[in-house]
Structure 1
Amino acid sequence: MTFDNAPPGALLRVSPLTRRIVAPNPGVFTYTGTCSYIIGEGELAIVDPGPAEASHIEALLAAIGGETLRYLLVTHTHRDHSPAARILQDKTGATIAGCAAYAPPPDLSVTGPGLDASHDRAYAPDVTLADGECLAFGGLTIEAVATPGHTTNHLCFALAEEATLFTGDHVMGWATTVIAPPDGSMREYFASLERLRGRDDRLYWPAHGGPVKEPQRYLRALLHHRRQREAAILERLEAGDETIVAIVARIYEGFDARLQRAAALSVFAHLEDLVERGLVRADGPATLEARYFKCGE
């Protein structure tokens, strides 16, 4: 059994201090499913408890056995990450800690909903962690690392004792992260990637897929890919494409039809950033339906 072929519910020890169980929610946005990580021995924390799937919750409880679950740590409030926290808390008494509760962006009515419907609005942490705040349990230390971009409230969690970072949906090895305005922000995402470049974590554990084994090299590749996408969008504007629909049709040609909306939201995120930087203008508020023009044209 390896990182990529572990069946849902199977307990896999991935490091001396970390075990992993994959939820039974595979899909085009979740890959093989949401990875829930059990950290520690005796006294435990779970990073990203996952969806409210009965079999997944049963598998996590079985893995814990007679150990004490101290914390349920949530990277962000998408519904494939946080809903199981409430159920596990009811069964174990653990403290829910991590990202802030979801707050609808003030410009939701202008920009459109993005991935607003994907948020777990019932999530209510006992402890909201700010950037740099730490939790201790069983002789281990977890530090919250603020990484807005995929969502405004996104956190990663650093395990000091293994120099590893649990990256949620911020950095994944199997696919690029969806950035969907208004809650998602390409500008914040770029800044968060740059921030991780200043850290010395030796390994990333994403919430979907296997580990990222050379984080700094991978971060450089992610930033290069996003800048290439930005350049392609500017080229399409120069060529006369004015709408997101037209741009997506050209730069995502042959793309899986199930991912077309995600592609449109990603282009929107880039255009929103380019408008903020004064490189692109819109014919009104920046929205999915607006027309866009390269500045100076």
Structure 2
Amino acid sequence: MSNTDDIPFDRTPVAAGTLEAVAPGVRRLIAANPGPFTYTGSCSYIVGRGKVAIIDPGPDDPAHIAALLDAVRGETVTDIFVSHTHRDHSDGVAALKAATGARVLAAGPHQTARPLHIGETNPLDAAADHDFRPDLALPDGAVVTGPDWTIEGVATPGHTANHMVFALREAGVLFTGDHIMAWSTSIVAPPDGAMADYMASLKKLRGRPETVYLPGHGAPAREAPRFLESYIRHREGREASILHRLRKGEADIPTLVRAIYIGIDPRLMGPAGLSVLAHLEDLVARGVVLTEGAPSIAGRYRLG
């Protein structure tokens, strides 16, 4: 059995619509789009003063965009950074760019981590922003500067194939999008996401100097290195739980979900199944687990 008891979550309520300083040179404004995936809403961050950058404009919500514009009244928005192309992060880009003329930067347009199998549909396709195109596609390690800020883009595929986190060097913080959040674990759902990529991206952050994570939803994650290690241990524990259940015999994904996710919000049963599928895709690719044909939600699995 695997749970999240070993992760030091911070589920402090964070209110939408309130502009708040959350780190030196960083202001946060949360959109009013609460839900099982977004917690109290999507976090937009304003970096710097005078000539500023905005990270993740959030959903296409006129009230939220108006509040962002009001927050930077008298300032110039030079750059809009986007962590990834799920609509609760990127849909507000068009309205914000139209109002400010700012340059849009991201890893690239939306793409799946792998091609769809024959007959497969993408369960998260409605959440994907297929129209998004950045003005500048940032390679891993790219650095963008403003008068009082320096932002480094760090490619972190896994939650989506084009996920990127952003390091603000002056403040020692990392804007982590949906890669790492303090209120919950991140969902990795094929074909948009891939577990092997996600684990590699988590481990990539080891040794970085940032001490605080500012996520796309919820409160900051303090003691960032400790929080990162708890995330990695949790995913490794989830894999161990899947293998433990398969030692009892062949199983399908609903059986694995019931055995592993104890006390889960019923609204998240479907996403939990997709997360198990992501683990199984990785395990099948490594030859640890076997299934007939390509791994799928409907498949049955056994140890290799």
What's 2:230 paired with? 221
Q: Which has the higher contact order (CA 8 A, sep 6+)?
A: 2
* Cα deviation digits, residues 145-196 of structure 1 (max 9, x gap): 0000100000000111111100000000100000001120111111011110
| Cα 1:60/1:4, change in 2 over 3 Å | farther
TM-score of the aligned structures, taking structure 2 as reference length? 0.93
Coordinate RMSD, CA, aligned: 1.6
**Aligned counterpart in structure 2 of residue 77 of structure 1, from 81, 85, 88:** 85
**Residue identity in the other structure for 2:233:** H
Q: CA deviation at 1:109?
A: 3.6
Inter-partner Cα distance in structure 2 for 1:165 and 1:136: 15
Alignment of 1:65 onto 2:73: yes
| Cα 1:160/1:257, change in 2 over 3 Å | same
How many residues align? The count is: 294
Alignment of 1:128 onto 2:130: no
**Residue identity in the other structure for 1:177:** S
Inter-partner Cα distance in structure 2 for 1:123 and 1:6: 28
Structure 2, unaligned stretches of length 5 or more? 1-10
Inter-partner Cα distance in structure 1 for 2:84 and 2:130: 11
What's 1:195 paired with? 204
Q: CA deviation at 1:84?
A: 0.7
Inter-partner Cα distance in structure 2 for 1:4 and 1:66: 32
Alignment of 1:183 onto 2:192: yes
* Cα deviation digits, residues 268-288 of structure 1 (max 9, x gap): 001011111111011111111
Alignment of 1:18 onto 2:26: yes
Identical-pair percentage: 48
Secondary structure of 2:79's counterpart equals strand
**Residue identity in the other structure for 1:18:** V
Secondary structure of 1:197's counterpart equals coil
Inter-partner Cα distance in structure 2 for 1:151 and 1:6: 25
TM-score of the aligned structures, taking structure 1 as reference length? 0.95
Q: CA deviation at 1:5?
A: 4.2
Alignment of 1:33 onto 2:41: yes
Contact 2:20 2:28 in 1 (8 A): yes
What's 1:279 paired with? 288
**Residue identity in the other structure for 2:195:** M
Inter-partner Cα distance in structure 2 for 1:15 and 1:164: 8
Most deviating of 116-125 and 61-70:
116-125
Inter-partner Cα distance in structure 2 for 1:184 and 1:106: 8
Alignment of 1:94 onto 2:102: yes
What's 2:4 paired with? none
